[in-house]
């Protein structure tokens, strides 16, 4: 027999040993997920005994996490913009930095038609549809599996988003007031040096921005004008060192009013521009 407290300590030590930097947090989150308990409940019951079967349920998950499977693949969820999204190995796990992209678009999307290019889990367009008052909302991704999950997330949040399977703009009809995108932007050569959670478990298709990391920005910059109304705007998430290159691509394609926004860590993160 063990107690909640002993189990939490054991989980933390196991995760630390596997080189997980947030071992404390992850151990707690696995305990919370396995037993459905709150922090307050834990403090009152930390010395309660846990049955062997229950302890085993937790230890199985700890073992998975120690193998560097992302926590979100174990719990199946990630919170984003205050909403809960279902995630799996077919989509990029929504990142906190990306909330800034949503925040920017929420400020300008009232009554506007919005296209989310490379929607993955759907976190961006669903947050916009749920938290704002946009007009038509369309989301595209090349991956059918990603779209299947995005549709589930849209249903969960009861928003009306049209999902289209499309290699960038190939299957996109009509024009929009706003195009938003967080495309794959990691240079291929850097993928091997990423954390095992990302490198081995998140879809390469969602990470790899090809040789210089800029291929999708190149293609998006070149094609977006044909799908934007006059005066329409584009909002792109970028890697911390890509602001200059992406601004250049957009101005070269005919965009004006270029703007770069930093994230909470002080890194360049969003480039936006207007189409004339
Ligand atoms: N748009 C999705 C997100 O921001 C997926 C991004 C991607 O696959 N590169 O989470």
The pLDDT averaged over each successive group of 10 residues in the chain (276 residues) is 95 97 96 97 97 97 98 97 98 97 97 98 98 98 98 98 98 96 96 95 94 96 96 97 97 97 96 96
Q: d(Cα 70, Cα 135) in Å, to the nearest integer?
A: 35
Global confidence as pTM: 0.94
- Of the residues 77, 91, 153, which should be mutated to test ligand 1's pocket, given the most ligand atoms within 8 Å of the CB? 91
Tokens 């990029």, located at residue:
92
Q: Going by CA atoms, what residue is nearest to atom 7 of ligand 1?
A: 206
Q: Which residues contact 35 (CB under 8 A, 6 or more apart)?
A: 4, 54, 58
Q: Is 12 helix (H, G, I), strand (E, B) or coil?
A: helix
Q: d(Cα 3, Cα 45) in Å, to the nearest integer?
A: 9
Contacts 24+ apart (CB under 8 A), 260-267: 261/100, 261/104, 263/97, 263/100, 264/96, 264/97, 264/100, 265/97, 267/97, 267/240
Q: What pLDDT, on a 0 to 100 scale, did the predictor assign at position 276?
A: 86
In angstroms, what is the span from residue 75 Cα to ligand 1's centroid? Answer: 19
Q: Is 271 exposed, middle or buried (0-12, 13-18, 19+ CB in 10 A)?
A: buried
Contacts 24+ apart (CB under 8 A), 32-40: 33/61, 33/74, 33/75, 34/58, 34/61, 35/4, 37/4
154 ligand 1 Cβ < 6 A: no
119 ligand 1 Cβ < 6 A: yes
Tell me if 157 sits within 8 A of 83, measured CB to CB. Answer: yes
Tokens representing 233?
A: 């705007």
Tokens representing 137?
A: 């909302």
Q: What pLDDT, on a 0 to 100 scale, did the predictor assign at position 1?
A: 72
146 ligand 1 Cβ < 6 A: no
Q: What pLDDT, on a 0 to 100 scale, did the predictor assign at position 228?
A: 98
Q: d(Cα 152, Cα 87) in Å, to the nearest integer?
A: 10
Q: Going by CA atoms, what residue is nearest to atom 1 of ligand 1?
A: 119
Tokens representing 189?
A: 């050569």
Give the containing element (helix H, strand E) for 201.
Answer: helix 196-201
94 ligand 1 Cβ < 6 A: yes
Q: What pLDDT, on a 0 to 100 scale, did the predictor assign at position 66?
A: 98
In angstroms, what is the span from residue 268 Cα to ligand 1's centroid? Answer: 17
Q: Going by CA atoms, what residue is nearest to atom 8 of ligand 1?
A: 206
Give the containing element (helix H, strand E) for 233.
Answer: strand 228-237
- Of the residues 206, 263, 270, which should be mutated to test ligand 1's pocket, given the most ligand atoms within 8 Å of the CB? 206
Q: Is 73 exposed, middle or buried (0-12, 13-18, 19+ CB in 10 A)?
A: middle
Task: Compute CA distances 249 → 48, 155, 218, 240, 272, whole Å.
Answer: 60, 36, 6, 16, 12
122 ligand 1 Cβ < 6 A: no
| Torsion of Cα atoms, 209 then 215 then 217 then 220, to 10° | -120
Nearest atom, ligand 1, residue 98 CA: 4
Going across the sheet that includes 162-165, the strands are 162-165, 137-141, 114-117, 176-181, 228-237, 268-275, 255-262
- Of the residues 89, 121, 242, which should be mutated to test ligand 1's pocket, given the most ligand atoms within 8 Å of the CB? 121
DSSP 110-153: TT--EEEES-TTSHHHHHHHHHS--SSEEEEES-HHHHHHHHHH
In angstroms, what is the span from residue 147 Cα to ligand 1's centroid? Answer: 12
- Of the residues 79, 80, 92, which should be mutated to test ligand 1's pocket, given the most ligand atoms within 8 Å of the CB? 92
């Amino acid at each position: 027999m063990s107690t909640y407290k002993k189990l939490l300590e054991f989980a933390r030590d196991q995760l630390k040993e596997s080189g997980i930097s947030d071992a404390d947090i992850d151990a707690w989150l696995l305990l919370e997920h396995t037993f459905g308990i709150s922090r307050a409940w834990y403090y009152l019951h930390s010395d309660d005994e846990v049955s062997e079967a229950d302890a085993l349920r937790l230890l199985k998950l700890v073992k998975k996490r120690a193998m560097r499977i992302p926590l979100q693949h174990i719990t199946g969820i990630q919170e984003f913009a205050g909403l809960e999204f279902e995630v799996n190995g077919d989509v990029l796990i929504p990142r906190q930095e990306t909330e800034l992209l949503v925040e920017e678009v929420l400020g300008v999307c009232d009554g506007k038609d919005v296209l989310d290019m490379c929607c993955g889990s759907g976190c961006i367009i669903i947050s916009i549809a749920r938290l704002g008052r946009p007009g038509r909302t369309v989301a595209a991704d090349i991956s059918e599996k990603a779209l299947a999950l995005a549709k589930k997330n849209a249903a969960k949040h009861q928003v009306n988003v049209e999902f289209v399977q499309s290699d960038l703009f190939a299957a996109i009809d009509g024009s929009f007031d706003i195009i938003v995108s967080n495309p794959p932007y990691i240079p291929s050569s850097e993928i091997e040096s990423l954390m095992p959670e990302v490198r081995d478990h998140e879809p390469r298709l969602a990470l790899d921005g090809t040789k210089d990391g800029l291929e999708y920005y190149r293609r998006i910059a070149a094609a977006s004008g044909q799908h934007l109304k006059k005066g329409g705007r584009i909002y792109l998430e970028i890697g911390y060192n890509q602001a200059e290159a992406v601004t250049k691509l957009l101005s070269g394609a005919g965009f004006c009013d270029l703007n770069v926004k930093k994230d909470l860590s002080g890194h360049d993160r969003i480039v936006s521009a207007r189409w004339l």
